A and B are shown apart, each in its own frame.
Chain A
Amino acid sequence: MSTKPDMPMIRVRGVYKSFGDLKVLDGMSFDVARGEVLAIIGPSGSGKSTMLRCLNFLEEHDAGEILIEGEPLGYRVLDDGRRVRESEAEIARMRSNVGMVFQSFNLFPHRNVRENITMAPVSVKNVDKAEANDRAEALLEKVGLAEKIDEYPSRLSGGQQQRVAIARALAMEPKVMLFDEVTSALDPELVGEVLTVMQKLAEEGMTMVIVTHEMQFAHDVGDRLMFIDRGNIVEEGDPTKVFSMPESPRLKEFLHRFSASFG
């Protein structure tokens, strides 16, 4: 498939998602441009993770459309409005373009760092083993863990594991990276090393969607900030502006509570 430079990297149109009776995404629509860093904030349970997980089809949206570089993700919407589920192969192919980093790292515990990073390129994209290995070494260098290449995940600190997880996702050469509260499970002194890596990625022009509670980071690294609550986008725009002049009462209250609890 050729890339479509005129299309945004991500386009979300009227996405709804419920778990049983619980409506979690209530018609979300937004775009993420190529190279843009979108930071998403919001109260716990507001649907941030669900939205992010929809962007690589780990959650399946009930209605609406998600396009990655113009290509529909998960479901193709026909002219008559019917939705057709894509094949497993097609879904996997789309996912291989979208990297994801989880709160709980989710490294493969039975494989060492090198194998964690080379596994997907070799088995999914048929990258040559030697080449995948070179790439793993380069990526580990980049996240500052070159000397850990032969360690097993259980021997690494949380911050190190998370940096390996970032390297693992980058090894697939994704067009977009998704981050779901990737520093929330870390001891405070380990947060910085992970954020530094993410900042570097952003500066290199990676398209990123970052769900975070690190307000300072969202402010500094985000090109755009989105505040969601109860499955709706309540406010979005330039981070400095949104933080300094929040308009909606809900965002005001949210920021107030945050500054109260975090000083």
Chain B
Amino acid sequence: MFDVLIANLPYLMKGTLQTLWLALVGVGLGTFLGTVLGVVSAMVGGAVAALIATYVFVIRGIPVLVWMFLAYYMLPQLGLMVGDVTAVIGALILYTGAFVTEIARGAVLAVPRHQTEAAKALGMRKLTMLRLVILPQAVSLFIPPLLNNSVMMIKATSYVSVVGVWELTYAAREVVERTLAAFQIFLGVMLIYFLICYPLTLAARFLEKRYSYEH
């Protein structure tokens, strides 16, 4: 009954690897970017925080799909001759970064003020305080929403197919066009996305619970 799916599974697996690679680079670097920006925004404040807030506002205000198109069509017009994969990864990084910035900023700001006051009163400078007092306490608030965000962004990698970047969803469409077995193939694709994302969702839920008991 699933013979078409099974026959095309190796091809879909290749697409899956590409999806994972896009997710790893795009979501990974975006998470790194967002973590740095969020922590800086919370710690420094002022004009720097305002600038970072603007970035978050602009990026989040527009769907990721539109950013894909923008990156794909606009960058070459601006004279940036980047490949289409680079363009969509750039869009993924910026988009992930904006969401993670907010998560990281919120986590840092959620550490009670009396904790930073205790650290200051002991003579700690900002970076020491960040490393020893703030980040260790912020991390429990940071990880669960970060995992949920990663799930969202992994699913968003499927949008890259609209500008012709090949990955799992694109590969599936190719197979469907060839075999017309849309039901089987997309059922399989659904399962693959599920198998990638579900463990992350579970981990997020588990950590959320564990941290909430601690406090």
- The answer, yes or no, to whether A123 is at the interface (CB within 8 Å) is yes
Stretch of A2-10, A99-107, A213-221, A236-244 at the chain-chain interface: A99-107
Contact assessment for A102 and B117 in the assembled complex, using a CB-CB cutoff below 8 Å: yes
Check A124/B124 contact, CB under 8 A, given A104-B114, A108-B118. yes
How many angstroms from the CA of A207 to the CA of B133 in the assembled complex? 28
Say which size band chain B's interface belongs to.
Answer: 10 to 19
In the complex, what residue of chain B is closest to A109 when comparing beta carbons?
B137
State whether B124 touches A123 (Cβ < 8 A): yes
Give the secondary structure class of B's interface.
helix
B 179-191 to A, binary, CB cutoff 8 A, 1 in contact else 0: 0000000000000
Given contacts A88-B126, A109-B137, contact A95 B120 (CB under 8 A): yes
Pairwise interchain contact B122-A120, C-beta atoms closer than 8 A = yes
A residues near B119, Cβ cutoff 8 Å: 108, 120
Taking a contact as CB atoms under 8 Å apart, the answer to whether A92 and B114 are in contact is no
Q: How far is the CA of A49 from the CA of B133 in the complex (A)?
A: 23
A106: which of B117, B125, B126, B136 is its contact (CB, 8 Å)? B117
Interface size on A, residues (CB 8 A): 28
Q: Are B128 and A108 in contact (CB under 8 A)?
A: no
Q: Is B115 within 8 A of A123, CB to CB?
A: no
CB proximity to B under 8 Å, residues A33-73? 56, 58
Q: Whose C-beta in chain A lies nearest to the C-beta of B118?
A: A106
Determine if A95 and B121 form an interchain contact, defined as CB atoms under 8 angstroms apart.
Answer: yes
Neighbouring B residues of A89 by C-beta, 8 Å: 125
Q: Within the assembled complex, what's the spacing in Å between the Cα atoms of A108 and B135?
A: 12
Shortest Cβ gap from B116 to chain A (Å):
10
Instruction: Please report the C-alpha to C-alpha distance between residue A78 and residue B154 in the assembled complex, in whole angstroms.
Output: 58
Contact A120 B123 (CB under 8 A): yes
**Contact call A102/B122, Cβ cutoff below 8 A:** no
* Residue among A99, A102, A108, A111 with max Cβ neighbours from chain B (10 Å): A108
Complex CA gap A104/B117 in Å reads 11
Residue of B nearest to A121 (CB): B122
Bound-complex Cα distance A93 to B120 (A): 10
Contacts A95-B120, A95-B123, A108-B115 supplied; 9 other A-B pairs, CB < 8 Å: A88-B125, A95-B121, A102-B114, A106-B117, A108-B118, A108-B133, A119-B122, A120-B123, A168-B122
Which residues in A have some Cβ–Cβ distance to B below 8 Å? Answer: 56, 58, 88-89, 92-93, 95-100, 102, 104, 106-111, 119-120, 123-125, 168-169, 172
- A-B contacts, 23 listed (Cβ < 8 Å): A56-B121, A88-B126, A89-B125, A92-B120, A92-B124, A95-B123, A96-B122, A97-B123, A102-B114, A102-B117, A102-B121, A106-B114, A106-B117, A106-B118, A108-B118, A109-B137, A110-B136, A120-B122, A120-B123, A123-B124, A169-B121, A169-B122, A172-B123
Q: Which 6 A-B pairs have the closest CB atoms?
A: A96-B123, A120-B122, A106-B118, A100-B121, A124-B123, A95-B123
